[in-house]
Amino acid sequence: MPMISNVSCTPPSPHDDSLPPVGSGKRRKLAVVLFNLGGPDSPAAIRPFLLNLFKDPAILRVPFFVRPILARIIAKARVKPASENYALLGGKSPLLELTQEQARTLEQALPEFEARCFIAMRYWHPFAHETVREVKDWDPDEIILLPLYPQYSTTTTGSSLTDWREAAAAAGLAKQTFSLCCYHSDRDFASATAALVRKAYDEARNTLPDDVPLRLLFSAHGLPEVIVKKGDPYQFQVERSTAAVLRAMNIPGLDHQICYQSRATPQVWLGPSTEEAIDRAVEDGVAVLVVPIAFVSEHSETLVELDVEYAELAHGKNIKGYFRVPTQNSDPEFIDSLAGLVRRVREHGPGLCSFAGGRVCPRIHRDCPHGEQEDAA
């Protein structure tokens, strides 16, 4: 079931007065809302943060009367390992501060507007209902909803956009709104990402002996397999992102593999897992360069899971080399790609757009939020 309504991406009419007249001196007030998952801001916040996450029907797909109790059980079981991870980061997630920096940088990359970036996190402050009030007080001309998830999943972007719409409706925020569902293989996003991968690749190659092969492990956050089987387009979009980055890198014959990290429940999750991919690299006698392909900011799953847990696992098995590409954070080329997406979404008109305009996902991905008739031009 799609988590957000199928709102079409209407092309702008030549007489559409929602867009500013060319050359008119007045800059439009543009509220850009950045969405991410959020993270605990203190040790005491870890448990309620996890509870919020597992109470989300988009995450825990069980009958509503079982969900609260099951959410409590799973959250309770995760408090200890999650607390150990956050302890390595000073007891909190760095996600909000890094997103605030992205917000300030993106404002500067949109000088033709009076742009102000707001942040709405799904499971910890600032929540959508808090941000909706801030946006309403600022009274923008238009609102752009911009997920910091390049790939669409019902569990992330879908859940965040539903949350925003409900909060906006409850607060009576009725401004013209433009939403982006995904930018998994947007050319500028791929090129910005490829530049970061290329830099880390060259550094890794310079450290390794010439006879040690280097494999790129594109590591994405995992998803329970049942969610994908029901029609979630996330895996398809992760594969498209990987292909787009490889294309932009333009190094023929690069050894690479897609894998999935951060398994959080006992269900069957997408595979191969990043641990399995590391095992295979050890068997094959190759070094690995891990590329986080579904996160655009550093947080516990990159700084602890990739840099500490998987690095220890890999070194414990005498891997030939273990390197990691940093996430985009406020990288100027990445922020420029987001600014380009903001402009394009606006040109496409109010409603929901993909980076390409309309639907890019094949029909089998029924949870793609675009309707049947909305193929990208």
Ligand X SMILES: C=CC1=C(C)c2cc3[nH]c(cc4nc(cc5[nH]c(cc1n2)c(C)c5CCC(=O)O)C(CCC(=O)O)=C4C)c(C)c3C=C
Q: Which does 361 bind (CB under 5 to 8 A by kind): Fe ion, ligand X, none?
A: Fe ion
Helices assigned H by DSSP within 114-233: 128-138, 159-171, 187-207, 225-229
Q: Show the tokens assigned to 250.
A: 């333009």
Q: Consult the annotation and say whether 372 binds a ligand.
A: no
- Nearest by Cα to 171 from 129, 123, 138: 129
State the nearest-atom distance from the C-beta of 105 to ligand X, in Å.
19
Rule CB under 6 A: say whether 153 interacts with ligand X: yes
106 binds ligand X (CB under 6 A): no
Which region among 9-17, 194-202, 248-256, 296-304 touches ligand X (by CB under 6 A)? 296-304
Residue 294 near ligand X by CB under 6 A:
yes
**Nearest Cα to Cα of residue 61 among 74, 79, 48, 78:** 74
Residue nearer to ligand X on the CB measure, 78 or 240: 78
For residue 301, say whether it is annotated as part of any ligand binding site: yes
**Cα separation of 100 and 107, whole Å?**
11
Q: Binding ligand X by CB under 6 A: which of 93, 131, 162, 241?
A: 93
Q: Rank residues 343 and 366 by Cβ distance to ligand X and give the closer one.
A: 366
Select from ligand X, Fe ion, none the partner in contact with residue 368, using the beta carbon and a kind-dependent cut-off of 5 to 8 Å: Fe ion
Residue with tokens 């079931």: 1
Question: Rounded CA gap, 186 and 181, in Å?
Answer: 12
Helix axes 159-171, 128-138, angle to 10 degrees: 50
Among ligand X, Fe ion, none, partner that 155 touches (CB below 5 to 8 angstroms by kind) = ligand X
What SS3 class is residue 363?
A: coil
Whether 159 and 56 have beta carbons less than 8 Å apart is answered as yes
Burial track 160-174 (b if 16+ CB lie within 10 A, e otherwise): bbbbbbebbeeeebe
Judged by CB under 6 A, the chain residues 207 through 236 that form the site for ligand X are: 221, 223, 234
Q: For Fe ion, which is the closer residue by CB, 193 or 261?
A: 261
The answer to whether residue 156 forms part of the interface with ligand X (CB under 6 A) is yes
List contacts with ligand X (CB under 6 A).
37, 39, 50, 53, 59, 78, 82, 85, 93, 95, 149, 153, 155-156, 221, 223, 234, 264-265, 294-295, 299-301
